[in-house]
Amino acid sequence: MRLANKIGIVTAAASGMGRAGALRFAKEGAAVGVADIDQGRVEAVVAEITAAGGRALALVGDLRQDEFARDIVRRTARAFGGLDFVWNHVGHPGPAAIEGIDMADYELAMDLNLRTVLVTTETAIPEIRARGGGALLFTASTSGLVGSGFSPVYSMAKFGIVGFVRALAKRLAPDNIRANAICPGPIDTPMLRVFVARPDQQQAPGDQDKEALIIRRAQQVPMRRTGKPEEIANAALFLLSDEASYVSGAALPVDGAATA
């Protein structure tokens, strides 16, 4: 088992890639704190893990609240006896507009892409250091590697994540704590339906059939398909495991060659 005896947290773990990661990490031997605002789905993920003989803890709350972003670390460490890794996966598309931007949506995007990640990381560092080292993983995006013309605020935030990861990797190297980012391309989750509905040159005005838009979006990827949440979970598993012991400060695209 690739995460035997490890203790970790996944945020936004009730759906999509976070859920796939939580299930996979538990199967690989980790005890997992499952953090998300969606109580029913958190409980379903925890139930699935425990039914398969794994260990998981439900952490239900709003990651926009600093106290909750800290509490997920404290509660996981208390429940399982320490902390080895965190996958800061939570994020938000933010506003599509620049002119006429909705600043409340901007604040939400910055809180969920950056602020909560910072607060959780601040609380996690001493816990991971106390174990003699570990791994921090962050979800950026291909929009954190190349500019997204239809989501500039999202690019702003995700470039921020990549910068944070590179800086953290240097700062935390003496503590044997690795920091990496995963940069997904279009992955088939509920959030992808938000992105594909945004106006861009490829889209006819008024075209609202999201499934048709997803097929069209997939055609723009060199591999001609969207990614599956499990394909991101596989890459996350590698970056969080000891197999990646000399990998830190990386921003790994998992995108069907979209940014190649």
Ligand X SMILES: NC(=O)c1ccc[n+]([C@@H]2O[C@H](COP(=O)([O-])OP(=O)(O)OC[C@H]3O[C@@H](n4cnc5c(N)ncnc54)[C@H](O)[C@@H]3O)[C@@H](O)[C@H]2O)c1
Binder among 64, 166, 198, 225 for ligand X (CB under 6 A): 64
The count of chain residues that interact with ligand X, using the rule CB under 6 A, is 25
State the minimum distance, in angstroms, from the CB of residue 6 to ligand X.
21
Reduce the secondary structure of the chain to three states and give it as a string.
CCCCCCEEEEECCCCHHHHHHHHHHHHCCCEEEEEECCHHHHHHHHHHHHHCCCEEEEEECCCCCHHHHHHHHHHHHHHHCCCCEEEECCCCCCCCCCCCCCHHHHHHHHHHHHHHHHHHHHHHHHHHHHCCCEEEEEECCHHHCCCCCCCHHHHHHHHHHHHHHHHHHHHHHHHCEEEEEEEECCECCHHHHHHHCCCCCCCCCCCCCHHHHHHHHHHCCCCCCCECHHHHHHHHHHHHCHHHCCCCCCEEEECCCCCC
State the minimum distance, in angstroms, from the CB of residue 138 to ligand X.
9
Residues designated catalytic: 154
Cα(100)–Cα(9) distance, integer angstroms: 37
Is 186 a residue that touches ligand X (CB under 6 A)? yes
Is 102 a residue that touches ligand X (CB under 6 A)? no
Is 38 a residue that touches ligand X (CB under 6 A)? yes
Between 142 and 241, whose beta carbon lies closer to ligand X?
142
State the minimum distance, in angstroms, from the CB of residue 29 to ligand X.
23
The mark string for 211-230 relative to ligand X (x by CB under 6 A, - otherwise) is --------------------
The mark string for 1-30 relative to ligand X (x by CB under 6 A, - otherwise) is -----------x-xxxxx------------
Is 153 a residue that touches ligand X (CB under 6 A)? no
Answer yes or no: are the C-beta atoms of 112 and 64 closer than 8 Å. yes
Between 143 and 241, whose beta carbon lies closer to ligand X?
143
State the minimum distance, in angstroms, from the CB of residue 5 to ligand X.
27
Is 187 a residue that touches ligand X (CB under 6 A)? yes
Is 37 a residue that touches ligand X (CB under 6 A)? yes
Answer yes or no: are the C-beta atoms of 151 and 195 closer than 8 Å. yes
State the minimum distance, in angstroms, from the CB of residue 123 to ligand X.
16
Between 173 and 194, whose beta carbon lies closer to ligand X?
194
Binding site residues, ligand X, CB under 6 A = 12, 14-18, 36-38, 62-64, 89-91, 112, 139, 141, 184, 186-187, 189-192
